[in-house]
Amino acid sequence: MIPASAYAAFDSNSPLKYWDFERRDLRPDDVEIDVEFCGVCHSDLHAAKGEWGDVNRPFVPGHEIVGKVKAVGPGVTKYKVGDTVGVGCMVDSCLHCADCDDGLEQYCTHGMVGTYMGMETGTGKPTYGGYSSKIVVKEHFVLKIPEGLDPAGAAPLLCAGITTYSPLRHWKVGPGQRVGIVGLGGLGHMGVKLAKAMGARVAVFTTSPSKVEDAKRLGADEVIISKDADAMAAEARSFDFILNTVAASHNLDPFIGALKRDGTMTLVGAPSEPHPSPGVMGMIFGRKSLAGSLIGGIAETQEMLDFCGKHGITADIELIPIQEINTAYARMLKSDVKYRFVIDIGTLSKG
């Protein structure tokens, strides 16, 4: 077994604290990674607090992982010691169902194995995330970080980046389209950067007038205050595609009204309470679609990373020592971060 250390949640109410544990020994197709940076996702907080169901304790969050290859199993061909690599939201799947065969491991018929809140294939032991010194992952689920990208800023691409890139690509966002991004948080700010790099005209919908200037700094062509009924009414039938990143229950009808005929709004935020049911008539009269999207498959995630490498795209981050993670959680609940906390795992120590 490989010794490792982490910050872990020992119950749903206490702060995360230091924990020594062990990773599995390398299998022939495994990669051992010394973790350098790990992004902080809202999912980490929900899971640590037990808000998404029971988790094995101690629980180690983190699925936006960047580090360097420490060792490889004898069957590994794509990576070598010293490579800068990433690990996202999943570390395994069956790899033989129709979804996996299509490169959509995130939708694996038998259930993909999460980087945390999962069970290791073969051992049946819990998976532990990236708030840790090391991680051991099957080669298929390891990703190459392009040269030139800041590794700390690249970490959130492994979740926030692919969560927004995948629907933008699936619904073929590109030049000549008007695209709306609902919300300007960890997901939304990535959606703006990616949609703009794809050539779309990008508008941000936000409830906060204070975010107008920053939305434009990130690349938005325009900003619409979504709580202004007149402003929303003026946008009727004007958007080809809307990516809704908000993870709180809200009225979807004004955004559906803003879609052109045959337009689609895709939800990527996961609220704890369901959205009010959208008005069916608003969808029927316009042949509009309401959809959802998860992360992307491994091939698409690598495509996203390469796209970001080509266009110089990383997340806007605040780098923190791991000892500040509990403060970061409290600030994240108040949306007090622009736009993603990233942990410097080099600060991990028992003291």
Domains and CATH numbers, the chain: 2-159+296-347 (3.90.180.10), 163-292 (3.40.50.720)
Is it the case that residue 332 has pLDDT exceeding 90? yes
Phi-psi category of residue 229: left, alpha or beta, with phi > 0 → left and psi -120 to 50 → alpha: alpha
Write out pLDDT tens, residues 28-76: 999 999 999 999 999 999 999 998 888 899 999 999 999 999 999 999 9
Confidence of residue 350 (pLDDT cuts 50, 70, 90): confident
Q: Checking DSSP bridges between strand 30-39 and strand 65-72, what pairing results, if any?
A: antiparallel
User: What's the whole-model pTM score?
Assistant: 0.97
Is it the case that residue 190 has pLDDT exceeding 90? yes
CB 33 within 8 A of CB 142: yes
Percent share of the chain, pLDDT over 70: 100
Is it the case that residue 351 has pLDDT exceeding 70? no
Listed residue (69, 89, 138, 45) closest to 330, CA to CA: 45
Distance between CA 201 and CA 242 in Å, rounded? 12
User: What is the arithmetic mean of pLDDT over 278-289?
Assistant: 95
Confidence of residue 273 (pLDDT cuts 50, 70, 90): confident
Write out pLDDT tens, residues 128-174: 999 999 999 999 999 999 999 999 999 999 999 999 999 999 999 99
